[in-house]
Amino acid sequence: MNFPGLDFAWTLAHGSARALGVIQPWDLEETKKHIASGDGVLVVANTALGDTLLCTPLLQTLADTLGPKRVGFLVRESYGDLYKDDSRIGHLFTVPGKYRGFGSLREALQPSDPPFRIALIANCTEPDLMPWLWWSGVRGFLRYRSRWSAFPGWFANRNALRRPTDDDYASNHAIANNLAMAQALGLKITATRLSVDVHKSWTGPERLVVLHPGASREEKRWALENWCRVAIDVAKIRHCQFAITGSMEEQSLATELAAKLPFPVENWAGKLSLSELAARLKTAALFLSGDTGPYHLAIAVNCPTVTLFAPRDRGSSIEACGPHEVDPLLHCALQTEHFGDSIATLAPEKVLAAAERILKT
């Protein structure tokens, strides 16, 4: 839901309310006082699946230092299945999407115990969510380091924000930028690697390679012919079995790839919940994909990966979203030479070599 002019009107109204003093967010010292007094901390990542997974070290740090009961996590409804039984999260909140689910979110946040009056904004839809969090009782806001916002004056750590014209805009890894919010609150960092709780079990082939041909944008999607070539060559060398995964919207893509392969392959696209996918990836020998949410999920469950990056800018590059503090023998990220280059410039030979090296390891 986002009719023409809504973003502008919403931003103007709440920017004016802030300028008039109707909205008065806490500064950093006031926010720290409320941390000390026992308020809950809400981590916000209601955008993409990968964004939620990149918050898991922050969630672990908050659970270790404040206790899980004081940790809240706000994600899109479609990702709630992955976190509903997460031991680090005392309160899971979900919203359907931009400008939707505000009423139910407010009803869930306001009576919560402890009260969630501090929000760490890792990634959120803008400009809709920030003002609604205010009307739901949040008063202390911190933002992911090195990014900008429609409401920069609301943040207690505004000095950590960067404009798109700044040299260090979108610099550093997303995990480090998320953890910087905890550091700003004086909390000790206790985790730096992706992780998720896997409660389901699955027994699959001993040497299973999972292909994920889909991506959120066309320019991040490698040609099916390339995936087919790599899979065939890997099968010749290592005699692996294969599965293809993807979302409901990627079912036709997965079916087309399966039809191109000269051997049987399991097609999981659109058939698994995220928790079921996590259980299967945990047992897989290798995950081959572009830069997409399930790639981060594979790393979080210790599944080896080969990942293809075709970044538009530094914020979508290996520097920001690549494998972080993992064994380089088990994870390989390949990136186009320049920002904006087509993913087609990544040669199948490089992907095959990386896959062969990891499977041999």
pLDDT, position 28: 98
Q: How far apart are CA 14 and CA 60, in angstroms?
A: 33
Residue 4 included in any domain: no
Question: What is the count of structural domains for the chain?
Answer: 2
Residue 203 included in any domain: no
How far CA 202 is from CA of 182, 240, 275, 279, 282, in Å, comes to: 35, 18, 11, 6, 9
| Same-domain check for residues 261 and 163 | no
| Same-domain check for residues 170 and 215 | no
pLDDT, position 27: 98
| Same-domain check for residues 171 and 290 | no
What is the full DSSP assignment across 297-321? Answer: HHHHTT--EEEEE--SSGGGSHHHH
Residue 112 included in any domain: yes
| Same-domain check for residues 244 and 326 | yes
Instruction: Classify burial at 299, counting beta carbons within 10 Å of its beta carbon; exposed 0-12, middle 13-18, buried 19 or more.
Output: buried
Residue 46 included in any domain: yes
Residue 191 included in any domain: no
pLDDT, position 2: 67
pLDDT, position 73: 98
pLDDT, position 205: 85
Residue 247 included in any domain: yes
| Same-domain check for residues 100 and 162 | yes
Q: Which domain-ending residue is among 149, 184, 219?
A: 184
State how far Cα 249 lies from the chain centre.
19
pLDDT in 10s for each residue of the chain, 361 residues: 567 899 999 999 999 999 999 999 999 999 999 999 999 999 999 999 999 999 999 999 999 999 999 999 999 999 999 999 999 999 999 999 899 998 999 999 988 889 999 999 999 999 999 999 999 999 999 999 999 999 999 999 999 999 999 999 999 999 999 999 999 999 999 999 999 999 888 988 889 999 999 988 888 899 999 999 999 999 998 889 999 999 999 999 999 999 999 999 999 999 999 999 999 999 999 999 999 999 999 999 999 999 999 999 999 999 999 999 999 999 999 999 999 999 999 999 999 999 999 999 8
Dmax over CA atoms of the chain, in Å, equals 69
| Same-domain check for residues 232 and 320 | yes
Residue 36 included in any domain: yes
Peptide bond into 127 cis (omega under 30): yes
Q: What is the CATH number of the domain that holds 59?
A: 3.40.50.2000
Token pair of 114 as six digits:
């402890």
| Same-domain check for residues 216 and 180 | no
Residue 152 included in any domain: yes
Name residues whose C-beta falls within 8 Å of residue 290's C-beta, 6 or more positions apart in sequence: 212, 213, 214, 215, 220, 221, 222, 307, 308, 309, 310, 343
| Same-domain check for residues 140 and 228 | no
Name residues whose C-beta falls within 8 Å of residue 186's C-beta, 6 or more positions apart in sequence: 32, 35
Q: How far apart are CA 283 and CA 243, in angstroms?
A: 12
| Same-domain check for residues 276 and 130 | no
| Same-domain check for residues 53 and 139 | yes
Token pair of 168 as six digits:
């260090």
pLDDT, position 1: 58
| Same-domain check for residues 180 and 275 | no
Which range marks the domain in which residue 23 is found? 16-184
Q: How far apart are CA 79 and CA 49, in angstroms?
A: 7
| Same-domain check for residues 42 and 118 | yes
